[in-house]
Amino acid sequence: MNIGCHLSIANGFYKAGLQILELGGNTFQFFTRNPRGGKAKAIDEKDIKKLIELMNEYSFGKLFAHGSYTMNLCSNKEEIRTYARDLLIDDIKRVSVIPKALYVFHPGSHVKQGADVGITYIIDALNEAIDHDNTVEICLEGMSGKGTEIGRTFEELSRIIEGVTHNERLGVCIDTCHLYSAGYDIVNDLDGVLNEFDRIIGLGRLKAVHLNDSKMPFASNKDRHEKIGEGTLGLEALINIVNHPKLKHLSFNLETPNELEGYKKEILLLKQNYIG
Ligand code: FE
Ligand code: FE
Ligand code: ZN
CB-based neighbours (< 5 A) of ligand 2, an ion: 175, 210
CB-based neighbours (< 5 A) of ligand 1, an ion: 141
Q: Alpha carbon of 223 to those of 110, 191, 213, 217, 266: distances in Å?
A: 17, 23, 10, 10, 20
Count of domains observed in the chain: 1
Cβ atoms of 105 and 141 within 8 Å: the answer is yes
Q: List 210's β-bridge partners, or say none.
A: 175, 253
pLDDT on residue 276 = 78
| Cα of 240 from ligand 2 centre, angstroms | 19
Beta strand 138-141 with 149-150 is: unpaired
pLDDT on residue 40 = 85
| Cα of 253 from ligand 3 centre, angstroms | 12
CB-based neighbours (< 5 A) of ligand 3, an ion: 223
The model's pLDDT over 78-118, given as tens digits with 9 standing for 90+, comes to 999 999 999 999 999 999 999 999 999 999 999 999 999 99
CA distance 255 to 247: 18
Number of residues that this document lists for the chain: 276
| Cα of 223 from ligand 2 centre, angstroms | 9
Residue 219's domain is classified under what CATH number?
Answer: 3.20.20.150
Q: Which ligand places an atom closest to the C-alpha of 69? A: 1
Residue 191: give the domain boundaries: 2-272
| Cα of 9 from ligand 3 centre, angstroms | 20
| Cα of 111 from ligand 2 centre, angstroms | 21
Average pLDDT over residues 141-168: 98
pLDDT on residue 39 = 79
Q: Which ligand places an atom closest to the C-alpha of 221? A: 3
| Cα of 46 from ligand 3 centre, angstroms | 33
| Cα of 141 from ligand 1 centre, angstroms | 6
pLDDT on residue 169 = 95
pLDDT category at 237 given cuts 50, 70, 90 is very high
Range with lowest mean pLDDT among 128-132, 207-211, 214-218, 259-263? 128-132
pLDDT category at 145 given cuts 50, 70, 90 is very high
pLDDT at 244 over 90: yes
pLDDT category at 132 given cuts 50, 70, 90 is low
pLDDT on residue 91 = 95
Cβ atoms of 98 and 13 within 8 Å: the answer is yes
| Cα of 206 from ligand 3 centre, angstroms | 18
pLDDT at 36 over 80: no
Q: Which ligand places an atom closest to the C-alpha of 105? A: 1
Cβ atoms of 21 and 3 within 8 Å: the answer is no
| Cα of 175 from ligand 2 centre, angstroms | 5
